[in-house]
Structure formats: structure tokens, C-alpha cells
Amino acid sequence: MLRFESFTREAKILNPLKNFEVEPKIIEYRINPLTGKIGCLVLKESGRPIEKMIYTADRDSLEKLAKESEEKCFFCPG
């Protein structure tokens, strides 16, 4: 029988669209019972997901993505 596991944590996000105000978000992590990989959902106050991320990227892919998006990123300096 498959066993579904999940857990939640609170993250404090500095929202650049609100002058970097601290914005708490509840993050639910789910463990895929077949692969063991962890995915997460960022939940709104209502408890419905607003973003979904699955951590499967390797370091080279992440570095390439960061370099390609640096000019448009409002988190990146200058």
C-alpha cells in the first residue's frame, strides 16, 4: 500500500512587490511515494495552492537559468 506523507512549515518572504515587507507563507511539502522526491506547494491563506515546485533540477541547470534571467530579476542587484 502507498503511504502519502506531507508536512508544513512557515516561511517569511520579503515581497518585492510590497516594498519588501515580510509576508508569511505556509509551505506544504509532499513526498512522492514512488520516487521519494519532495515537492512543495506554497499555500495562500485560504489553503489553496498558488505555486507548485518540484525539486528535480541539477546545479548546472539552475546556474544556467539564473544567468539567463538575471537581467529581468528584481531580486538580483543592479
- Parse the chain into domains and list their residue ranges: 5-72
Report which secondary-structure segment, H or E, holds 64. helix 59-69
For the entire predicted model, the pTM comes to 0.51
Compute how many other C-beta atoms are within 10 angstroms of the C-beta atom of residue 10.
8
Is residue 18 over pLDDT 80? yes
Query: Do residues 30 and 8 lie in contact, with contact meaning Cβ atoms separated by under 8 Å?
Result: no
Mean pLDDT (the chain, rounded) = 79
pLDDT score for 22: 93
For residue 66, is pLDDT > 90?
no
- Look at the chain and count its residues: 78
Instruction: List 6's β-bridge partners, or say none.
Output: 30
The helix or strand, by DSSP H or E, that contains position 50, with its residue range, turns out to be: strand 49-54
Q: How far apart are CA 66 and CA 8, in angstroms?
A: 27
